[in-house]
Amino acid sequence: MNKNFSTSYRIYYEDTDASGVVYYANYLKFFERARTDFLRACGISQFTLAQTQSIIFMVRKCQIEYKNSARLDDLIEIKTTVKKFGGASIVMLQEMFRKDDAKLLNILEVEIACVNSKLMKPAKIPEAIKSAFTNEFNG
């Protein structure tokens, strides 16, 4: 699980604020897009998972370090790695770069809990997800 998953996104006006760069909360939107695209690349639809198995993923903790700002029109790249795969939770490490000059912009460590949305209690991560992750991102 040491291979990382990479996706790119564009910065538009909606992402910026009056300081001229991306608003600090909006970086978390891009990180979430990357995690969703990561799951999609593993063949997992969060929507289907919620509908059929009442399994949802909820963020428990975020630790984000802001190094440099993303600007309007920037193309950013996010590298996502699974750091720890627990029974009912996943820890991911995500790094955001500016494509243009390869500058590191932000680092996020995020802990996500697998939850049964009907009981609102922790749920075991389905085997299908575990093996999808493993197959996709291990040699």
Residues pairing with 112 in the sheet: 59, 90
Q: Which of 1, 58, 104, 128 binds a copy of itself (CB under 8 A)?
A: 58
Residue 54: both structure tokens together: 């009442």
Taking residues 3 to 22 in sequence order and writing x for each that binds a copy of itself by CB under 8 A, - otherwise, the string is: -------x-xxx-xxxxxx-
Q: Is 73 a catalytic residue?
A: no
Q: 3-state secondary structure string, 112-135?
A: EEEEECCCCEECCCCHHHHHHHHH
Cα–Cα nearest to 90, from 66, 123, 121, 116: 123
User: How big is the site for a copy of itself, counted in residues (CB under 8 A)?
Assistant: 39
Catalytic residues: 17
Q: Which spans of this chain sit near a copy of itself (rule: CB under 8 A)?
A: 10, 12-14, 16-21, 23-26, 28-29, 32-33, 36-37, 40, 45-47, 50, 56, 58-66, 71-73, 117
